[in-house]
Amino acid sequence: MKTAFLAVALFALCFAAPANAQVFSADIAEIRTVSATIPGARALRINVVKFAESRRTKNFSVKGAPAEPSVQARTAFQVVYPDGTVMIDSGMDQQVHRFFGRGVEEPYFPEAAKEVEKALLAAKSIVMTHEHGDHVAGVVRGPLAAQLAPKAVLTRTQVQTLLTNPQMPEIKLNPEMAKRYIVVDYEKYLPFAPGFTLIKSPGHTPGSQMIYVVLQSGKEYLFAGDVAWHMDGVRTIRGKDAPWITEDEPAMTADHRDQPR
């Protein structure tokens, strides 16, 4: 899993490309430099929990792929530092999960969802890859939201989407709720913790960001969020074919390997 994940990272960093309106670029050398700007020990390891699945045929996740069975894992990640943890994404409750099934009952793992809750409660901070329900619901709704919000870091764009154009009514914020979060805004990269950098990457949603983490071991990860739903989308630089989502596909799939950087 780690190898595959790193591969996602490298592909995304190399091939992330300019959109028409908003030029996107990311440079791994710059990201490494930014990631070294916060003093302190880097993370020791990363844990992952899969708390739900969507079973959609592969053609939805990768344009042009055959309509064969495919699983989309719904996950949250725990970055473990010597003196505390940072969560990447916050999971969702079963009601939000049902939204994604669009009428079909899909697998939800309550025990794993409990693990996510425990990890959120224990975390020093929580950051989001993007503002979709399966990533933010854990800090936006439910009995723990008020307790978790003061250590949840949302970008200004993520908050704006949740206020004005949420993916589903269940995760809509009102201005009073929005004040509970730590809200950040940045141009391109934001160093967040030792070896941990946020990378602005609008496309899948306006508030999407990728997250780079380098461990003490030197192993590097990139949390690409929903830039792709299947590794083949990254390998072949092909977008999704899911009519129920609206995203800036050119920003996410343009391949400028041959262009001067």
Q: Is 226 in the site for Zn ion (CB under 5 A)?
A: yes
Q: Is 30 exposed, middle or buried (0-12, 13-18, 19+ CB in 10 A)?
A: middle
- CA–CA distance, 183 with 10 (Å, rounded to integer): 28
For Zn ion, the closer CB: 19 or 80: 19
What is the nearest approach in angstroms of Zn ion to the Cβ of residue 31? 22
Q: Is 132 in the site for Zn ion (CB under 5 A)?
A: yes
What is the nearest approach in angstroms of Zn ion to the Cβ of residue 54? 11
For Zn ion, the closer CB: 117 or 247: 247
What is the nearest approach in angstroms of Zn ion to the Cβ of residue 92? 11
- CA–CA distance, 64 with 86 (Å, rounded to integer): 37
Structure tokens at 232: 């083949």
Stretch that binds Zn ion, among 11-19, 100-108, 110-118, 128-136 (CB under 5 A): 128-136
Q: Mask of contacts with Zn ion, 73-112, x by CB under 5 A?
A: ----------------------------------------
Residue 247 corresponds to which amino acid? E
Stretch that binds Zn ion, among 26-34, 112-120, 174-182, 224-232 (CB under 5 A): 224-232
What is the nearest approach in angstroms of Zn ion to the Cβ of residue 244? 11
Give the total of residues touching Zn ion (CB under 5 A).
2
For Zn ion, the closer CB: 105 or 244: 244
What is the nearest approach in angstroms of Zn ion to the Cβ of residue 250? 18
Sign of CA dihedral 178, 184, 187, 193: negative
Residues of this chain that interact with Zn ion (CB under 5 A) are: 132, 226
